[in-house]
Amino acid sequence: MRLAAEAADLEETVEKHPVTPGPLLPARELQGDLLLELDRPAEALVAYEKTLEREPRRARALFGAARAAELAGERATATARYREILDVMAKGEATRPEIVAAKRYVGG
């Protein structure tokens, strides 16, 4: 876990060239995935939220944050993030797991 945190911290110090896309899988987002796997949703939520500070509306990080908030019992945050996923993925296939989970959670 220490190495994942160090990698995420280091990645955040590197500026992105303005012509290139962002990282395919940001280290902080991967740290969130690892924390979810370790059943540490509150810590995972912090990692996903940090990813979203640098890359707003990133679908994968939004879903991770929503799921982590749900598991951590933070209903308001989970609802807000699931709704944001539905907004970001409004034109996505309705059968995508992220869309299905978001609709199920918010009752849409």
CATH number assigned to the domain comprising residue 51: 1.25.40.10
81 band by pLDDT with thresholds 50, 70 and 90? very high
Average pLDDT across the chain, whole number: 88
Dist CA 63 CA 30 (whole Å): 13
Total number of domains constituting the chain = 1
**pLDDT average, residue stretch 47-65:** 95
The pLDDT of residue 12: 59
- In the predicted structure, residue 96 carries a pLDDT above the cut 90: yes
Q: pLDDT tens across 6-35, in order?
A: 665 665 566 655 556 666 788 899 999 999
**Cα Rg of the chain, angstroms:** 14
Q: What domain range is 83 assigned to?
A: 2-14+23-106
What are the CA-CA distances from residue 6 to residues 13, 25, 36, 89, 101 (Å)?
11, 15, 18, 31, 31
